[in-house]
Amino acid sequence: MRNTPAIARFWGLLLLLVALHFAVRPRLGDPRFAPDFALVALLFFAVRTRPGAGAAAGFLAGLMTDALAPTAFGSAALACTVVGYGAGWLTTLTFADNLLINALFVFAASWLRDAVQVLAANQLASGALAWQLLAWSPLSGLSTAAAALAVLLVFRGWLAARPA
């Protein structure tokens, strides 16, 4: 039998992260390096499901992102689908309940998502592309990893690695 209160808390936390993405993120400064709470929600979901469910959730999260910035429609959907699938697949191999490993995982996923999205959009010249991939994307990954670490510290009891 499933633990209904734990599942309700988990989905409530995912909804809180999506709300933070739209309510708090715009007020945190430049969106190029503000934490991406929607990506954190996607990763928390993807590591607790199968790769296909992570990819589907990533596709929906990417469509949500693309709808807000339609200049390169589909690039965020592709990037989030790849990250959602990869997160689900990687955790079928192993997933540590270590805060530092989780933060490094979120950093890498954030950078990979930015790299796929920027390359798929094909809108930046070589200098701007290098600046984006080597400066802004790591800063965004660092702030997103810090936000995920804070959420993990505050809601650790709600986020069991493999809920029953």
Q: Are 164 and 3 in contact (CB under 8 A)?
A: yes
Model pLDDT for residues 109-134, shown as the tens digit of each residue: 999 988 888 888 877 778 888 888 88
What is the pTM (predicted TM-score) of this model? Answer: 0.85
Parent domain of 75? 4-158
**pLDDT grade for 163, boundaries at 50, 70 and 90:** very low
Q: Is 163 within a domain?
A: no
Dihedral, CA atoms, 6, 87, 65, 19, nearest 10 degrees? 20
Q: Is 94 within a domain?
A: yes
Q: Is 54 within a domain?
A: yes
Model pLDDT for residues 59-100, shown as the tens digit of each residue: 999 888 888 776 778 888 889 899 999 888 887 665 566 788
Q: Are 27 and 136 in contact (CB under 8 A)?
A: no
pLDDT score for 57: 94
Domain containing residue 141: CATH number: 1.10.1760.20
The number of domains in the chain is: 1
Q: Is 164 within a domain?
A: no
